[in-house]
Amino acid sequence: MDKQPAEPVAAGRASGAGRVLVVDDDPTVAEVVSGYLDRAGYAVDRAGDGPSALAGAAAHWPDLVVLDLMLPGMDGLEVCRRLRGLGPVPVIMLTARGDEDDRIMGLEVGADDYVTKPFSPRELVLRVESVLRRARPLAGTPPLSAAGLTVDPAARRAAKNGVELALTLREFDLLAFLLRHPGRAYSREDLMREVWGWDFGDLSTVTVHVRRLRGKVEDDPARPRLIQTVWGVGYRFDPDGEEPGP
């Protein structure tokens, strides 16, 4: 097969559904994914490596990035880190089946979701729709505030003691959900369903996002006071921030 061109290639039509950047060095995978997204109404740009993906994103900022983990030269983890440095954008990572460590690393650097290869293109389109739907600001939704934290769902902005927090899509949704339900313990299955919108999935996704969120909202993430672990159950937001018991 011909090598994917270094420069990003437009592969979709103008659409109100949103712009998606597909980054994969396998031309067949990129073409199939782009075709399904195009038929679903998305404007699609393609890139075959990290540098061209970053250049494409800078030229035409996407609403979402579908990013292969295994890329030549600059891998998907580094591309995700650099995208986060350019600005907030939802990222769905494509990973090989069984590579749990790689999936967790993807989530650690800020991926919002992942799909394992081989995958159904229809499933990927559903994931894209789900992530973008949750990324839209919720007009008319009142701000939330507790323990020095403020969350504005309408503007999709969050702050701690007046300082804005750099949250990923899922981190924002997780924090907003916890602030809406203070004092109540939720299992990882509950959070997967309520925050991610899925009735099934890898529960380590929730664990990683809780850890990342604690790193941004807790004074001491090693001794969390706000997002507490309820052993045998899951997690609870404690607006009083009391020291958890032994």
DSSP letters of 127-155?
Answer: HHHHHHHHHS--TTPPPEEETTEEEETTT
Mean pLDDT of 59-66: 94
pLDDT at 218: 95
- If pLDDT is split at 50, 70 and 90, which confidence band does 198 have? confident
- Taking the CA atoms of residue 138, residue 172, residue 133 and residue 235 in that order, the dihedral angle to the nearest 10 degrees is -110
Question: Position of tokens 């103008």?
Answer: 14
- If pLDDT is split at 50, 70 and 90, which confidence band does 139 have? low
pLDDT at 205: 85
Q: Please, what CATH class does the domain formed by 9-135 belong to?
A: alpha beta
CA count, 13 A, side-chain hemisphere, 121: 14
Q: Do 9-135 and 144-237 share a fold? A: no
Which segments within the chain are labelled E, that is strand? 9-10, 19-23, 43-47, 64-68, 91-96, 113-117, 144-146, 149-152, 157-160, 163-164, 185-186, 227-230, 234-237
- If pLDDT is split at 50, 70 and 90, which confidence band does 121 have? confident
Domain ranges in the chain?
A: 9-135, 144-237
Cβ contact 183:236 at 8 Å = yes
- If pLDDT is split at 50, 70 and 90, which confidence band does 59 have? very high
pLDDT at 68: 92
Residue 243 has pLDDT above 60, yes or no: no
Considering the domain 144-237 in this protein, what is its CATH number?
1.10.10.10
- If pLDDT is split at 50, 70 and 90, which confidence band does 108 have? confident
Terminal CA-CA length for the chain: 59
Residue 195 has pLDDT above 50, yes or no: yes
pLDDT at 95: 82
